[in-house]
């Protein structure tokens, strides 16, 4: 195991140091041509990845499977809990202990916050958290950071706006914590009822990171280097009327981009609904599909590191 990445499990981005994050991003950079199929790498040949997805996933599950297969490894698992023995009443602890005897590494997505950390206690093999309820989604955060660095050359000194549901969004919470390790200027764009939680604000204040809050994207858009969009969730509002009142404020259309910086990028963890109009897709600002593709090299890097398939 390399000294700059001393981890057995990947449960929370809060478990990472800045040095460890940068190390993963550097290795992912080396993986990009392999992820595209332009180069080959058989370093995980003979290894098996177990994908335990207790709730729906498209990008995360398939990108992990693609990452493992690009490294000549194999995959087994299930895409929904109803096809597993959980339907018969088996506990998560028992499931993990059994599956860990079949595979070399496990990727777990679960609707309950804290499930991945619990699984790590019972697994003999590395656990990667692929999302646990409203908790953490560390690999999404790593691919988000990787995208910013790839598109903007560095993460430091960037003005980054994070918009949408900032109260409940696990991707937003993880990303904010990670960005607080870098010297960024953060803008939190959301209706008052969905603004970033106070406990996260306290964390970034401890890191002496500049931040501001805004309720309207158009008030701050022209000043940003990065806009990270998320979905405003209708189900969080007591009535459709209250939702409709704010929803239009958090939608990006092509004509809104006339005065933004030429190299400003727009990101989104996906899936999107209607918060980014399709006419934005053809602009040079749209990076959300490339962002999704970056999930493969990031997850390749983690699989190599956690299975000790990487030689420094």
**Distance between CA atoms of 152 and 305, rounded to whole angstroms?**
26
The beta strand positions in the chain, using DSSP E, are 48-53, 74-78, 105-110, 127-132, 159-163, 185-189, 210-214, 226-229, 265-267
Comparing C-alpha atoms, which of 62, 6, 24 is closest to residue 178? 24
Q: Catalogue the active-site residues.
A: 59-60, 88, 109, 137
Strands 127-132 vs 74-78: parallel, antiparallel or unpaired: unpaired
What tokens were used for 201? 């604000």
Report whether 214 contacts 221 (CB < 8 A).
no
The terminus-to-terminus CA distance of the chain in angstroms comes to: 9
Kindly give, in sequence order, each residue whose CB lies less than 8 Å from that of residue 224, ignoring residues fewer than 6 positions away.
Answer: 159, 160, 161, 187, 260, 261, 264
What is the DSSP track for 228-240?
A: EE-PPPGGGSSSH
Report whether 88 contacts 135 (CB < 8 A).
no
Report whether 178 contacts 22 (CB < 8 A).
no
Residue that has been written with the tokens 């914590």 in this structure: 177
What is the DSSP track for 1-31?
A: --TT---S-B--GGG--HHHHHHHHHHHHHH
**Distance between CA atoms of 226 and 235, rounded to whole angstroms?**
27
Report whether 257 contacts 283 (CB < 8 A).
yes
């Amino acid at each position: 195991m390399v000294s700059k990445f001393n981890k057995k499990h990947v449960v929370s981005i809060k478990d990472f140091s800045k040095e460890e994050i940068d190390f993963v991003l550097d290795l992912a950079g080396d993986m990009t041509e392999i992820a595209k199929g332009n180069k080959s790498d058989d370093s995980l040949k003979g290894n098996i990845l177990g994908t335990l997805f207790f709730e729906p996933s498209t990008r995360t599950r398939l990108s992990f499977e693609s990452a493992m297969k690009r490294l000549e490894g194999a995959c087994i698992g299930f895409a929904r809990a109803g096809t597993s023995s959980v339907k018969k009443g088996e506990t998560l602890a028992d499931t993990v202990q059994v599956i860990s005897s079949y595979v070399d590494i496990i990727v777990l997505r679960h609707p309950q916050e804290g499930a991945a950390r619990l699984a790590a206690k019972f697994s003999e093999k590395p656990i990667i958290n692929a999302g646990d309820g409203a908790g953490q989604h560390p690999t999404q955060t790593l691919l988000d950071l990787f995208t910013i660095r790839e598109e903007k050359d560095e993460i430091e000194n960037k003005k980054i706006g994070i918009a949408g549901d900032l109260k409940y969004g696990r991707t937003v919470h993880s990303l904010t914590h990670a960005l607080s390790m870098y010297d960024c200027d953060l803008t939190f764009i959301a209706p008052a009822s969905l603004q970033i939680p106070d406990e996260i604000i306290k964390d970034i204040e401890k890191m002496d990171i500049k931040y501001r809050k805004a309720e309207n994207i158009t008030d701050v858009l022209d000043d940003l280097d990065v806009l990270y969009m998320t979905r405003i969730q209708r189900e969080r509002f007591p009535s459709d009327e209250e939702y409709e009142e704010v929803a239009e404020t958090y939608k990006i259309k092509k004509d809104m981009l006339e005065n933004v910086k030429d190299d400003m990028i727009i990101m989104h963890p996906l899936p999107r609904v209607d918060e980014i109009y399709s006419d934005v897709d053809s602009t040079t600002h749209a990076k959300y599909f490339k962002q999704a593709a970056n999930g493969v090299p990031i997850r390749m890097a983690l699989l190599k590191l956690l299975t000790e398939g990487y030689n420094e």
